[in-house]
Amino acid sequence: MRKPSAKTSLGTADTSVRATLWRTLQRAASALLPTLLAAISALASDAPRLVLSGTEVDDKASLTPDGRFMAMTDWSSGDLALRDLVTGQTKRLKVKSGGWESDDYGEFVILSPDQRQLVYVWHEGSAPGHLRVMANQAGAKPRILVRNSEFPYILPSAWSPDGKSVLVHLWKKDYTAQLAWVSVADGSLTVLRSLDWRGAPLKAGGPRLSPDGRYIAYSALARSGSPDSHIYLLSADGASEREIVRDAGVNEAPVWTPDGTRLLFHSNRSGRDDLWSVPVRDGIATGAPAVVARDIGKIFPIGLTRSGSFYYVHERGSENIFLADLEPGGEKVRTGPSVKLAEDPAGSNRGPAWSPSGKFIAFKRRGAGNRPGYDVVVHSLVTAEEKTYVSQPLTGTSSHPAWFPDGNSLLVALSDNQNRISFHRLDLAAGVFAEIAPGDPSYLALATLSPDGKTIYIATHDDKISAGGVVAFDIAGAQQKGIFQTPGFVNNLALSPDGRTLAIARSVPHEGHWEGHLSLAGVDGSNVRDIYAAGRDIFGGGPMLAWTKDGGSIFFAQGEHDWQLMRISAAGGQPELAGLTTTGLRHDLAFQPDGSRIAFGHGKFSVKETRAIDHLSFVWEVAP
């Protein structure tokens, strides 16, 4: 078991120096420019300390106010756990026995103020999670507080000081958000505040109850569809509300200082991801925000202890686009290391698509900081220049774009605030996204474009009957017709170079397990046939499917964590290894138009670490 690292050499004396500096600044604050205050404050914080890594990391963990325990999910098993941050020992609460032989798991675990009870979300199979409470005792029998299919997400944030209520944020079926109290006695719900679709940033840190229980700090979009999010203080009884941080940019993930005089929050207003602080009293801001720590990155806050340690989870991806040469004839990847297309600080490049000229690769990159969704990036293979296109207020999906034949525009799948996928034409010169296929609850973010650019073939899924399909959407007529259906899911689809045949990778239920089938279908829905059927779910590890330049073969990836690139003749037969075997995530595959190279998305799962910044008590230990 990994123990927390020992205290650094920065001890009490250094804290005192910082406190003196901070006090001086605070006293002079009225006369100083906020930027000067922010700049000097930033100098006063420690570098982050690594606390946990691997399966010990839980970005939905919570801290007891004394900083002694972290309530969390044990991701090696799905069980609940309490970690003693002093001893470094983790105790499983045995809500489930064993490990991942069962898919059930708990998350959002919070200890009650007297530490006798825990509230948490429990997931059983594919059903939406529900809210439970249990005694803080290994093996104790849990009690269901709220189980309601109208609330697919009911996430606890805090206990009321008297332990009789739990603050939750809800996402309803239409993805609108609400803040509410749940009675621990009977599970009854009192909705304090509806946020409609402004509540999306709750993903990056939920509402936080002030130490005295009087105020709820939360972040929400400044208005529906806005790229900016602000921070609000709602009185715990719902009687009043104030907007306390309303500066441009993403301001989110507020965390109270232990004395309730300040809020720390994440903000990208400077163009970087920094930790900021704002003083508050009686529900209103009493001063300007100031920087506490620079360049903190993409974070999920956990909490701030009385001793001044700010715990959070830091996330960094390692996904990128790789290029690999093909052997003459284009049937195999040439031996040798693949080439990384571009370095990306966020490590989140996915979904390559080669331009018709072969000079550009378009792909997706996750939005900066905590901004949800993916941006479109067009990378020049000639100059290595990149141009980024942001689709807000609609959110970019991670799926690959597709080039229109003119080479000047891209087909892009975007998601609205109800997770409905719509398809848009991105004019690369103007940077404008124009809707061409409106949002539809059945659409998946998987589509391919006919060679003449007139028809989109879109993968669909009907949740009610658990069936997948493909529709052909005529752009000019804005009409669609179904051309393919399957039980289970369509995992990916690719159109033959002549535009006449779709290759469809699908996962089909069979006697209690999933099987992977690779099928071909005419674009008019005719002549559907399987060319390969595996007895296991070979496509479950991620989409990767493309036709060779001559249309004679199809490349696809099979396997999950360990995967191989395979080639199969369009006429069927046994697939052959196409010369690429690796591990980790995989995302999409594209051939260079001349058939000489492939581009593919690949990487490891994003790396999350629980970190702490210590000695932050100087922020609140002096009176402003």
Partner 1 sequence: MKVLLLLASAAALPHPPLGLDVYMPVPEGNPLTAAKIELGRQLFFDKRLSRDGTLACAGCHDPERAFSDGRTVARGVGGVEGVRNSPALINRGYGQSFFWDGRVESLERQAIEPILNPKELALSKDELERRIGLQADEVAAALASYVRTIRSGDSPYDRFTMGQTAALSAAEKAGLDLFRGKGHCVNCHAGPNFSDEQYHNTGVSWAGGQFTDDGRFGVSRREEDRGAFKTPTLREVARTAPYMHDGSLATLEQVVDFYSEGGRANPHLDAEIRPRRFSQEEKRALVAFLRALSGVVSR
Instruction: Tell me the three state secondary structure of residue 197.
Output: helix
The residue among 463 and 511 lying less far from partner 1, judged by its C-beta, is 463
DSSP string for residues in 479-502: EEEEEEEEESEEEEEEE-TTSSEE
Taking residue 466's Cβ as centre, other Cβ atoms within 10 Å add up to 11
Pairing mode, strands 229-235 and 241-245: antiparallel
The residue among 228 and 576 lying less far from partner 1, judged by its C-beta, is 228
Q: Quote the tokens at residue 116.
A: 């006798």
Minimum CB separation from partner 1 for residue 174, in Å?
Answer: 5
φ/ψ (deg, to 5) at 40? -75, -35
The residue among 150 and 385 lying less far from partner 1, judged by its C-beta, is 150
Minimum CB separation from partner 1 for residue 424, in Å?
Answer: 12
Minimum CB separation from partner 1 for residue 274, in Å?
Answer: 30
Cα–Cα distance, 96 to 401 (Å, whole number): 42
Minimum CB separation from partner 1 for residue 181, in Å?
Answer: 6
Minimum CB separation from partner 1 for residue 426, in Å?
Answer: 17
Q: Quote the tokens at residue 38.
A: 């922010």
Helix or strand run (H / E) with residue 12: helix 12-27
The residue among 160 and 501 lying less far from partner 1, judged by its C-beta, is 160
Minimum CB separation from partner 1 for residue 491, in Å?
Answer: 24
Q: What is the largest CA-CA distance in the chain?
A: 79
The residue among 71 and 167 lying less far from partner 1, judged by its C-beta, is 167
The residue among 156 and 289 lying less far from partner 1, judged by its C-beta, is 156
The residue among 198 and 608 lying less far from partner 1, judged by its C-beta, is 198
DSSP string for residues in 65-82: TTSSEEEEEETTTTEEEE
Pairing mode, strands 79-84 and 69-74: antiparallel
Report the Cα 518 to chain-centroid distance in Å: 29
Minimum CB separation from partner 1 for residue 201, in Å?
Answer: 17
Minimum CB separation from partner 1 for residue 464, in Å?
Answer: 9
φ/ψ (deg, to 5) at 439? -55, 135
Minimum CB separation from partner 1 for residue 391, in Å?
Answer: 15
Q: Quote the tokens at residue 188.
A: 């009854």
Minimum CB separation from partner 1 for residue 116, in Å?
Answer: 18
The residue among 224 and 606 lying less far from partner 1, judged by its C-beta, is 224
The residue among 464 and 529 lying less far from partner 1, judged by its C-beta, is 464
Contact 421, 427 (CB under 8 A): no
Minimum CB separation from partner 1 for residue 518, in Å?
Answer: 31
The residue among 172 and 549 lying less far from partner 1, judged by its C-beta, is 172
Contact 12, 20 (CB under 8 A): no
Cα–Cα distance, 181 to 188 (Å, whole number): 8
Minimum CB separation from partner 1 for residue 161, in Å?
Answer: 9
- Label residue 576 exposed, middle or buried (CB < 10 Å: 0-12, 13-18, 19+): middle
Minimum CB separation from partner 1 for residue 537, in Å?
Answer: 28
DSSP letter at 348 equals B
Q: Which residue has the tokens 């195999």?
A: 332
Q: Which residue has the tokens 């898919």?
A: 103
- In the chain, the amino acid numbered 211 is P
The residue among 23 and 172 lying less far from partner 1, judged by its C-beta, is 172
The residue among 197 and 618 lying less far from partner 1, judged by its C-beta, is 197
The residue among 209 and 326 lying less far from partner 1, judged by its C-beta, is 209
Minimum CB separation from partner 1 for residue 162, in Å?
Answer: 6
Binding site for partner 1 (CB under 8 A): 148, 150, 160, 162, 164-165, 172-174, 176, 178, 181, 183, 188-194, 196-197, 224, 234, 236-241, 418, 435, 438-439, 441
∠424-426-427 over CA atoms, to 5°? 140
Cα–Cα distance, 578 to 566 (Å, whole number): 5
Q: Which residues contact 294 (CB under 8 A, 6 or more apart)?
A: 42, 272, 274, 275
Q: Which residues contact 319 (CB under 8 A, 6 or more apart)?
A: 347, 348, 349, 350, 585, 587, 601, 602, 603, 604, 606
The residue among 172 and 510 lying less far from partner 1, judged by its C-beta, is 172
Cα–Cα distance, 459 to 504 (Å, whole number): 9
Helix or strand run (H / E) with residue 207: none
CA proximity to 535, closest of 501, 511, 563, 569? 511
Q: Which residues contact 18 (CB under 8 A, 6 or more apart)?
A: 44, 615, 618
